[in-house]
Chain A
Amino acid sequence: GAVVSQHPSWVICKSGTSVKIECRSLDFQATTMFWYRQFPKQSLMLMATSNEGSKATYEQGVEKDKFLINHASLTLSTLTVTSAHPEDSSFYICSARDLGGILMNTEAFFGQGTRLTVV
């Protein structure tokens, strides 16, 4: 199946610093990528939809200046957590939807997630 690679798998940063997480689609082009946040033992909460070449669409309650999303190419989206604080510690997962080829409209594929710990 399609592969989505997320990097890094885990990161520890100091409070007040910024952290960038990358999401890459390895064998397909993804015009749309999604960023989720997951708290322990809970479901995935959609943060934003990232569209190649245009501004991301943020869900209600998600601060766009805090969580910067850039989707500069058809295979890469980045999420930057700016001025991170301990309450930003969480598991962040991206997914990418293949709108072309045999996978068209069937699904979005997920990265392996990034565990962010802010100390």
Chain B
Amino acid sequence: GEDVEQSLFLSVREGDSSVINCTYTDSSSTYLYWYKQEPGAGLQLLTYIFSNMDMKQDQRLTVLLNKKDKHLSLRIADTQTGDSAIYFCAEREKGNQGGKLIFGQGTELSVKP
């Protein structure tokens, strides 16, 4: 079945850029997403990208998609301590009115002052 993989931890210094990587297996995915989860909270949608796009930029966030390698990345510029959280990538299965979301295991980002 479909699988989404992420590295579990990333530690950066405040002000540096963070790059969180994700690989997926379903080449027919239509949308790919990045979510942020703070402790004890639900998921906050950060950004998404259509599968026919290579890049999307939204303020400090840049998403790169390499469809050939099924690789997705999220770059956070000028990382702040408030960016410390768990970041999930997810792909959406193809399906009637959009399939279900398949999540990676999450990358815990730690930002040190």
- Least CB distance from A106 to B in Å reads 7
Whether A110 lies near B43 (C-beta < 8 A) is yes
- Least CB distance from A80 to B in Å reads 20
Is A67 located at the chain interface by the 8 A CB criterion?
Answer: no
Whether A110 lies near B88 (C-beta < 8 A) is no
Question: Do A44 and B44 form a contact, CB below 8 Å, given A32-B97, A99-B97, A106-B31?
Answer: no
Q: 1/0 per residue B90-113: CB within 8 Å of A?
A: 000000011011011110000000
Report the Cα distance A99→B105, complex, angstroms: 27
Query: What residue in chain B is nearest A97 (Cβ atoms)?
Result: B98
Is B82 located at the chain interface by the 8 A CB criterion?
Answer: no
Inter-chain CB contacts under 8 Å: number: 50
Report the Cα distance A96→B106, complex, angstroms: 21
- Least CB distance from A100 to B in Å reads 11
Question: Which of A85-117 touch B at CB < 8 Å?
Answer: 93, 95, 97, 99, 105-113, 115
Question: Do A112 and B41 form a contact, CB below 8 Å, given A43-B88, A97-B98?
Answer: yes
- Chain B residues with CB under 8 A of A78: none
Report the Cα distance A49→B33, complex, angstroms: 19
- Least CB distance from A51 to B in Å reads 10
- Least CB distance from A45 to B in Å reads 8
Known: A108-B101, A112-B42. 12 other contacts (CB 8 A): A6-B42, A41-B106, A43-B105, A97-B98, A107-B48, A110-B42, A110-B44, A110-B45, A111-B42, A112-B41, A113-B41, A115-B40
Residues of chain A touching chain B, judged by Cβ–Cβ distance below 8 Å, are 1, 4, 6, 32, 34, 41-44, 46, 49, 93, 95, 97, 99, 105-113, 115
